[in-house]
Structure 1
Amino acid sequence: MSSQTGIKVSPALAGVWQQVTAPGSKVRAVKISILKETLEEDGLFDIKGTFEEDFRIVHDNLKDDVPAYFMVRFDGSKSDQWIFLAYVPDIAHIRQKMIYAATRATLTKDLGDSHFTDSIYGTNKGDFTLEGYKRHRASMTAPKPFTDRERQLQEIHANEKSMIENMKGGTHRVSHAPGMNFPLTDRAVAALKKLVVAAPSPAKALPKKVTSPASTPLPVSPVISRESTVVVPEKSASAENVEDDEWDDDKTKEAKAEEDAAPVEDVKGIEPEEEIPVEAAKPERTVNFVKLVIDAESEKIDLAGEAKIAAKDLVKNIDEDSPRFTFFAYEHTHNGTAHDSLVFMYTCPSKSKIRERMLYSSCRAGVLQAATDNAGLSVDKKLETTDVSDLTEQFVLEELHPKTSHSSFGGSSARSAVSGPPRFNKPARPGARKVM
């Protein structure tokens, strides 16, 4: 503003200001006016009582149609701090009003902005009484006027700030998800645990009998007919004994060689029986649909409903006018393979209240983390929509098993030769469903 008026603090005023701000000074207030295009000291007023008692000095030394500046010193520990007052009456001359309004920033800057902790700009002498000063302080500390939506946003931010400050004091945080983390109620946790199918009992093994080499039957010897026999000359008894001994020795050597080559067996030469596992029956799930709601009063996530339904009945069981968190265990078969998928659905209808939409959006990540920590759930797919009618069985299947395009022989060049340049899909409509 100094570049607009060119009015500066005079050396005399600078010296006076240095004296009144020195330690031990007894000056309560300083009046400053613009005289001959220069900022000059126009009156010094000593301390006579408390700050509130001496504040009347300002009102008593102002004229109805003459602008002026006042600096007033505070009491006690704030005795080195001042309040800057700029009085520019509406009935003053236009030139004076423009000059005083444009020069006040230059005045505080030249004297030192650090000295002034508060300021008042007024056009009426009534603004510079003790009651006027109290109204000014009340307006500074009063809450700002907000619309309902702005007030709701402020409450949400305040809740988030308090939760973060509370978590800072602990040595352990259960959830590290961003946003608001409301705890789950006991019955909500119990319902979520029903979605977890217990692991089947260990398979019972049936023994499979395996015969040992010792018990293997010998092959049947061939039948020799009488016609095929050949008469062999009889041998003497001594010759037969010699041949029998040689035969026994050879047989003993062969048996010993077979024992050395054979693998080590169990006791009595019998191998252990091989066990054949038998698959146990999978336990049946009693609940596959759990719906959660936020209880704003208690600041907890509560159970809104649980059931065992078919995928085609999802739309019927989810609220259409309020946001909800839904967990659905979908047992189905795709391309001949059985699947058991856990789907998390966050529904936020457009016609629901703004406060509800903001609250549920802030708690979404916290609910997923709490379901993992408290109920041991592992979500396979996350869906979000503003229209509950989107959650059809066909849509859920397409999201769980998206179709993949298989290129023909020849790669991308062959595909482009047949189908031409790629086509771009139109953007989704506002508020449409989306996959997280």
Structure 2
Amino acid sequence: MQSGISASKELVSQFNDLLGSPSTFGLLINIANEQLQPIQTLTSSPGSSFASNVDTLLTPHIKEKEALYIILRRYDSSPALVAVTYVPDTAPVRQKMLFASTRLTLVRELGSEHFRETIFATNAKELTSQGFEKHDAHTALDAPLTEEEKSLGEVKRAEQEAGAGTSKREIHLGTHMAMPMGEDALAALKGLAEEGGEGLVMLKVNPTTETIELVPSSSSSSNPSSIADLVQAISPSEPRFTFFRYTHTHNGSEESPILFFYTNPSSNGGRVAIKQRMLYPLMKRAVLEVASREGLNVDKKFEVEEPSEITEDGVLGELHPKAVQSRGFARPKRPGGSSSVQIHTCLTQYIPPEQKHHGTFKSNRTLDRAGHHRHHWTRETTIHQQKSPSPDPVAVLSTFYSTKDQKYLVKSVPRHSEHSFFRQDLLTPYVEYMATHPRSLLVRICDFLGASGYSLGRILRLAPSHHIVMENIMYGRGRSEAKKRGGGDNNNVDWEDWDLKPTSYFYPERDIADGALTSEATKSQLADEFHDKIRLDKEQADEFFRCLEEDTRLLAEHGAVDYSLFLVRMHTTTSTPSGSGPGQEPDAAAASSPEAVSEVVLEEVAPPTEGPSVPPGPPSWRTGIASADGKYIYRASILDFFWAKHKLQPMVMTVLIKLWNLLISKQGPMSITTTPEEYRQRFLKMCRSYVEVVGESSVE
């Protein structure tokens, strides 16, 4: 629970009475003695309408300075209830924070399935019959979609209509993924669950029709007798979901467990393969749930990339693990003078073993990688840097580690308000969004780790409890610098980077007493400023702005603010053409060829066959976009989208800044206290101001 407040027994009892009595119009609820307590039941007269009940029964109980929870019966069909949180602007600050942080608890404890919608009101006029009419008119408006989004929606509707009437069953994943499974596949799963049936069922996703299909099996592969035969039956070039009855002898007795193998080969490139790699990890859990409903109980699950990784010894080792003799605690070795340390040494001195928070997050890690195994970041790592103090007054240091191959960063997320927001509110939407937007500018987060228990370091705030693993947008810089020192072919590549945020907000370190109270070192940690232009052609600029619009819309919808655009610029000069001496300008045609420059530079800074720099098609902002004049290669990514306005700590900060503006000096909001949509618009305006479309005036 977000505030530690729970529903009382009296509230649960009166809520059950409300559900069973159609004549009961509503229930008023308050917070008393750290519990949700019922105040009064509103009973309607026969034949009265919702509008008349609101004006006659509800309005007299609405007060200008007192927060209130309201449950109303509004609809004839189930779910029939509406949950209203009324927090007036003039209510005491503590009451505002308490009611806002408990509103989700109210719905969750009473049962979210009973509520069709939740409403947050701050003005008494919103809780009149006219206020509800305005609310209905607003929700009935179509979403502001771009032409591309509208056309995509029409295509999806046409596909659904074309598939109507076929004998299929929908697989549902959350509220956003649905994929039908054919009856032949369902029958095969049911047959595998029965003794004596076929011992192998393989399923695949048809990316064109977006259906789960049964893979036809030949007579030689329908009943593999060993793991080696199974490996031969699984496609080495396409992903597969494989269910296999493995009959073998162990300790003198015959056993036949059901095994599940998810294979996703990385050797098959191309756009079609990328779409398949996005669909399969999202559908894995749903396929397992359908198999369970058909009576097929899976005893062991395996997830590998190549079928060749499946071995009989490995399977037997998982099915029948050998007893390991426990050893006493071994004190971890000190890192000493070496910059290379074991990441588990750094993290477990104060933190218990970490575990994933969300099963579907593994899907996001899978869909972008090529040959990325878990051991790439769980083994030896190198300390990359320690982040300097953040510009906000409640800053907590974040620590960065980089993997040994420099492809990934491990960043601590020490604030509870940040990691709880990402885990509870943004994680699932982020995964689903990234699966359908391969060219997104949002940083690729590959894993989210959290401590499973308490420890001395967490209690004393000496060690963070949560970490994220994300792609390193600076990947390749180390190779370039090494070649420079060694006199290699990459002497002409220089790297620059900027962490860009709108600087027109109120920054206490900079704006209070003109910054005289803060050291220059602290002020230098504020957002960077980019004193140049990103020169792009029109097609590049349009794609850049489109990605920014879509990505920031997702963040604003979930309340995120204070994110930044991390811009990397690789400066390159073409080799001097024949006939040109030192100091002379290179050939103009060569200098203005972004394709030629891109090929030369990306060959060094973005290997085309390894993650995280595998492009989802042509070169992207992840791998490097050549400027229109051919002088630079740019990378860009949106980072640090963990600060959410509806969490308790941000709400406290917002109140403090409002009091400062009211009582001391009107400076306006900080980037961490403004509204999500206002920050989004100012962020987009900043990004547009940095772009210059070649052949046109600067984009403002």
TM-score of the aligned structures, taking structure 2 as reference length: 0.23
**Higher relative contact order (CA closer than 8 Å, sequence separation 6+):** 1
Determine which structure has more spread, i.e. the larger CA radius of gyration.
Answer: 1
